[in-house]
A and B are shown apart, each in its own frame.
Chain A
C-alpha cells in the first residue's frame, strides 16, 4: 500500500504497452476490419446490381417474346392469306384446264361424230345403192339414172 518506485516502473510499462498496441496491434486489425467492410459492401452492391440486371433481362426477354409472338402471328396470317390465294389460283387453273380439256374433248367428239356420220352415210348410200342395185339390177341403167342416184345420195348426205 506504499507509493514507491513501482509507480515509475508501471508508468513505463504502461507507455510501452500502449506504444506497442498503437504501432503493431491496432492498425492491422482496423485495416482488416475496414477491408472486410468494403468487401462486404462491394458484395452487397454487386448482388443488388445483379438483381437489377436480372430484372432488366427478364423485362427484355418478355418484350422479345412478345414481339416474336406478334411476328409469328403475322407470319401465320400472311401464310394463311397466301395459301388462300394459292388455292384460289389452283382452282382457277383447274377450272380453265377442265374447260380446255372439255372443249378439246367436245371438238374431238364432234369430229368423231362427223366422221362416223360420213362413214355411215357412205356405207348407207353404198348399201342403199347395192340394195337398189340388187332390186333394180336389171331395170336401172347406171348411166341413165345417174342423176337420180346422185340426188338420192345427196339427200342422204343432207340428212
Chain B
C-alpha cells in the first residue's frame, strides 16, 4: 500500500492512471492531475510513462538482439547468441508455418512484436508498488509501469499492423482486387452492399481485436495484482505468487497470439483469393 491516507478505490485509481503531459483546460501545459484531468486534455496529450517504459524496453530488445546479431557467426554460439537464435528460430518457424508469401518484412515484424510485447508484459511481474512508489519519492505523481495496459500502445501496434494489411492487400491484389475481395464475397455480386458491410466489419475487427485482446488481458491481470496488493500483508503472497506464476503464461501467450495473428493477417493480405 502506498499511502495511509488513501482509500482502496483511490489506491486503485492511482495505480491505473497514466502520467499524462498536455494542455490543461486553463491553457497551461503540465502533468495532468488524475485521469479526469487527463481526459480533459483531449487528444493532444502524451502518456509519458507509457512512452518511456515502452521505448526503454524497445531499446533493451534492440540492444541485446543487435549485440547478438553483430557478433553472430556460424561457429559455436555463446550464451546470448544462443538465446537470441532460439527466439529468432522460434519466430521464423511460426512465420514459415503461417505465412505463405515472400516478404522480408514479416519475420522481423513478428520478432519485434513478440519480444517487445513480452518485455512490456513482463513489467507486470514487477511488484505493483515498487516503481510507482520509487517514482513518487522522486516527485513523479503517477506511473503506470505496464505499457500494454495502456490502450494507446496496443492500438498503436494494432494500427501499424492494420496499415500493413491494407498496404499489402492493395500492393499484391491491386486496389480493384482488394475491393473485389471485400465486395464480392461471401455472397453473389448483387448483394454487394451487404458483402461490403460484412467484410468491412471483419477487416476492421482485426486491429480492434488485436489491440483489445492484449490490452484486456494485461489490464485485467494488472488489476488483479493491484487488488491482491490491497489485502493484508501476511496473506498477499498466497494469492500473488500463484497469480504471478499463472501470469508468466499470460505474458508469453499474449505476445505469441499477437505475433501469430499478425502473421496470419498479413498472410491473408498476400493471398490472391479466398
**Cross-chain contact B105 with A25 (CB below 8 angstroms):** no
Min CB distance B80 to A, Å, is 11
The binding surface of chain A is classed by DSSP as helix
A36 proximal to B (CB < 8 A): yes
**Cross-chain contact A6 with B152 (CB below 8 angstroms):** yes
**A8 / chain B contacts, CB cutoff of 8 Å:** 156
- Which of B62-70, B124-132, B195-203 binds A? B62-70
Give A30 to B69 CA distance when docked, in angstroms: 9
Q: Which of A6, A17, A30, A39 has the most CB of B within 10 A?
A: A6
**A21 / chain B contacts, CB cutoff of 8 Å:** 61-62, 65, 108-109, 111-112
Give A11 to B55 CA distance when docked, in angstroms: 11
Min CB distance B229 to A, Å, is 19
Select B69's contact among A7, A15, A18, A29, beta carbons within 8 Å: A29
**Cross-chain contact B62 with A11 (CB below 8 angstroms):** no
Interface code A58-86, partner B: CB below 8 Å = 1, 0 otherwise? 00000000000000000000000000000
**Cross-chain contact B152 with A7 (CB below 8 angstroms):** yes
* Contacts A6-B50, A28-B72; A17 near B112 (Cβ below 8 A): yes
Min CB distance B24 to A, Å, is 14
Chain A interface residue count, CB cutoff 8 Å, equals 33
Select A6's contact among B46, B69, B73, B160, beta carbons within 8 Å: B46
- Which of B2-10, B82-90, B176-184 binds A? B82-90
**A5 / chain B contacts, CB cutoff of 8 Å:** 22, 43-46
* Contacts A3-B151, A17-B58; A22 near B74 (Cβ below 8 A): no
Q: Which of B84, B111, B116, B156 has the most CB of A within 10 A?
A: B156
**Cross-chain contact A1 with B108 (CB below 8 angstroms):** no
Select B88's contact among A3, A11, A26, A35, beta carbons within 8 Å: A26
B255 proximal to A (CB < 8 A): no
**B84 / chain A contacts, CB cutoff of 8 Å:** 29
A31 proximal to B (CB < 8 A): yes
**Cross-chain contact B43 with A1 (CB below 8 angstroms):** no
Select B85's contact among A1, A27, A33, beta carbons within 8 Å: A33
* A1-49 with Cβ < 8 A to chain B: 1-11, 13-18, 20-22, 24-33, 35-36, 39
* Contacts A17-B58, A28-B72, A29-B88; A6 near B51 (Cβ below 8 A): yes
Select A4's contact among B45, B89, B92, beta carbons within 8 Å: B45
* B145-172 with Cβ < 8 A to chain A: 150-153, 155-157, 159-160
**Cross-chain contact B43 with A11 (CB below 8 angstroms):** no
Give A17 to B74 CA distance when docked, in angstroms: 26
**A30 / chain B contacts, CB cutoff of 8 Å:** 88, 92, 107
Min CB distance A75 to B, Å, is 56
Min CB distance A99 to B, Å, is 91
Interface code A146-159, partner B: CB below 8 Å = 1, 0 otherwise? 00000000000000
**Cross-chain contact B157 with A14 (CB below 8 angstroms):** yes
Min CB distance B117 to A, Å, is 11
- 8 closest A-B pairs by beta carbon, nearest first, are A10-B156, A35-B74, A32-B72, A6-B152, A22-B108, A26-B108, A6-B47, A36-B74
Measured CB to CB, the residues of B under 8 A from A are: 16, 18, 20, 22, 35, 38-39, 41-47, 50-51, 54-55, 58, 61-62, 65-66, 68-70, 72-75, 84-85, 88-89, 92, 104-105, 107-109, 111-113, 116, 150-153, 155-157, 159-160
Q: A4-B41, A6-B51, A27-B69 are in contact. List 14 more A-B contacts (CB 8 A).
A: A2-B35, A3-B152, A4-B38, A4-B42, A5-B45, A7-B152, A14-B156, A15-B160, A25-B66, A29-B69, A30-B107, A32-B72, A33-B89, A39-B74
